Amino acid sequence: MYHGGPTGHSASVLIALTEKGLDYTSHELDLARFENHSDALLALNPEGQVPVLVADGQALTDTFHILLYLDEAFAEPALGGPNPQARYAVHKWGKYVETHIAPNLAIARWARLGGARKAGEGPRLDRLTPERSALWRKALAGFSDEQVEAAHKALEKAADRVAQDAADGGWLAGDAYSVADIAVYPHLAQFAALGIDLPEAAAEWLGRVAARPAVASAAGDMRIVATMGPELGRWG
């Protein structure tokens, strides 16, 4: 398991592995030093993104798909949703994380914690895929106030959606804790540090997830790292 520690997408897979009670070999990379752009990691994932889970000799990438793989490969406890409606919600949230939450969170996080780096301090852009290189060029140039404001508004909307789906003490995909909660939690847990307020129902949901033993064990020391997530609108 190649990961960036208990932060963002990496935290989701660490939580799932712990919920399933699975043993794994941990390779933690320093994302602030761009260790995810090393030759070894790029050989596993040319986009230079973590987490990467190597299972039976195959490098698995894209967090939500890793979560689905783990739930299918290891049946207990079941986290994919007990019925079609719940599984629909799981997939809805998995897509929403990748297309809306993570990309906008990366912009807000970079603006608050990273800022434009000096020449030579960023990643080797020639080593990345064109899509990733283009995203990093935008980050290194610095995001405009309008882009940062738009990102914050998108994240506020995401917090409202969490509050709506988790109202009355529930979980994001119905009555059972699921991959949906695991996918969203590490991202929403960063909102307060970035000055994004949570509705009461969303804050209560965050507390319920954080109280789970597997979550406390795998991601209790949540970190916030200024690095780029998926491109806006990306899925897959």
Other Cβ atoms within 10 Å of 30 Cβ, number:
11
Is the pLDDT at 98 greater than 80? The verdict is: yes
Q: Could you give the 3-state DSSP secondary structure of residue 85?
A: helix
Does pTM surpass 0.85?
yes
pLDDT digits (tens, 9 = 90+) for 22-51: 999 999 998 777 788 788 888 999 888 899
Distance between CA atoms of 121 and 132, rounded to whole angstroms?
17
Is the pLDDT at 133 greater than 80? The verdict is: no
Share of the chain above pLDDT 70, in %: 86
Other Cβ atoms within 10 Å of 169 Cβ, number:
10
Question: Could you tell me the domains of the chain?
Answer: 2-73 (3.40.30.10), 84-219 (1.20.1050.10)
- Band (168; pLDDT cuts 50, 70, 90): confident
Task: Report pLDDT for 122.
Answer: 55
For residue 185 the two structure tokens come to 């939690």
Is the pLDDT at 208 greater than 60? The verdict is: yes
- Tell me how far apart the 2 most distant CA atoms of the chain are, in Å: 52
Distance between CA atoms of 45 and 173, rounded to whole angstroms?
30
List the single range of 8-12, 28-32, 127-131, 197-201 with lowest mean pLDDT.
127-131
Q: CA 24, 40, 132 angle in degrees (round to 5)?
A: 105
- Band (227; pLDDT cuts 50, 70, 90): low
Is the pLDDT at 127 greater than 70? The verdict is: no
From first CA to last CA, the distance across the chain in angstroms is 19
- Looking at per-residue confidence, does 66 or 119 come out higher? 66
Are 37 and 128 a contacting pair, CB within 8 Å? yes
